[in-house]
Amino acid sequence: MKGVFALLLATSLLSACSSSQTAAPAASSASSHSTTVETTTSSAPPTQTGQQSPPDVAPEHAIRAVRAIEVRFSKLDPRLADGIRAVSGIESTVRCWTKPGWKRLEKIMHRSLSGLADTGVYEIHLHPFACQGVRFLLAGNQPESGDEALFVAEGLVVLTHEGTHFTSAGSNEAVVECRAMQNAHLVAARLGIDEDYARHLARLYWEQAYPRNDPVYGSPECRDGGIMDVNPDSSDWP
Ligand SMILES: [Zn+2]
């Protein structure tokens, strides 16, 4: 429990940082060229207010550098890989990184990130906080409110966001982020997490973490009835 709370605090700081200074996405990703790295983030690189987040396009040499250190600094998580199939529909791998490893990855990418999707090899890289959040849910915990609930909500949406990069949403960060928030309950259900509870987490995310002011990851069309509403006939949101 102590560990989780420590992480919660760390994440809150990250979020505060990104939303106030940057409007960073909670999950981002890079775009996609044929080989590309998709990224997610709850902590985008600090930029000045009003400036646009940098595009998440990772140069090929950066992707190779990440792949070169992944075995040393991360572990495969087959459970999360199975969960993400609920939205991606394909086989992919999910790697949970160590904190020191993630620092190296961020250095390679020249930005703070919560996740990264390597569309060249269908591999998802996750910040330690995202893995810890989802695993906390897998252990049967269901925090309803406060920092702990927001923490697990962000972890679930980050995972979903990265998997969404393997879909037709491709490299459009705003679409990926909006769909991830709306479909996170599907990933949760596949992981054996109560679906109604996961919808509650998605609402929390919408209220407190959705990067609505970020010109790359947020969009005014991400709303009930907006063009990014995946269930336009329903008034449920997200
Ligand atoms: Zn993304």
pLDDT per residue as tens digits for the range 66-85: 999 999 999 999 999 999 99
pLDDT confidence band for 216 (50 / 70 / 90): very high
User: How far away, in angstroms, is 115 Cα from ligand 1 center?
Assistant: 8
What digits encode the pLDDT tens for the residues 121-167? Answer: 999 999 999 999 999 999 999 999 999 999 999 999 999 999 999 99
Given a cut of 50, whether residue 4 has pLDDT beyond it is no
Angle between helices 78-88 and 128-138 (to 10 degrees): 90
- Distance CA(130)–CA(171), nearest Å, equals 21
- In this predicted model, what pLDDT tens digit does every residue of 37-51 receive, in sequence order? 555 554 433 333 344
**Residue 5 pLDDT level (bands cut at 50, 70, 90):** very low
Q: How far is the CA of 128 from the centre of ligand 1 (A)?
A: 17
- pLDDT score, position 58: 62
What is the predicted pLDDT for the residue at 40? 57
- Measured in Å, residue 116 CA sits from the centre of ligand 1 at 7
Cα 111 → chain centroid: 15
Strand partners, 211: none
CA distances from 55 to 165, 171, 183, 226 (A): 14, 10, 24, 24
Through-space distance between the first and last CA atoms of the chain, rounded to whole angstroms: 29
- Contact indicator for 102, 150 with CB cutoff of 8 Å: no
CB 53 within 8 A of CB 24: yes
| Ligand 1 midpoint to CA 2 (Å) | 30
Q: Is 12 exposed, middle or buried (0-12, 13-18, 19+ CB in 10 A)?
A: middle
Output the pLDDT for position 61. Answer: 85
Give the tens place of pLDDT for each residue, 228-237.
Answer: 999 999 999 9
The rounded Å distance from CA 184 to ligand 1 centre is 14
Residue 108 has pLDDT above 70, yes or no: yes
pTM check: above 0.85:
no
Which residues on adjacent β-strands are paired with residue 94? Answer: 124
Ranking 33-42, 86-95, 205-214 by mean pLDDT, the lowest is 33-42
Going from the Cα of 222 to the center of ligand 1, the distance in angstroms, rounded, reads 15
Beta-carbon contacts of 56 under 8 Å, excluding residues fewer than 6 positions away, are 28, 29, 30, 31, 37, 38, 39, 171, 173, 216
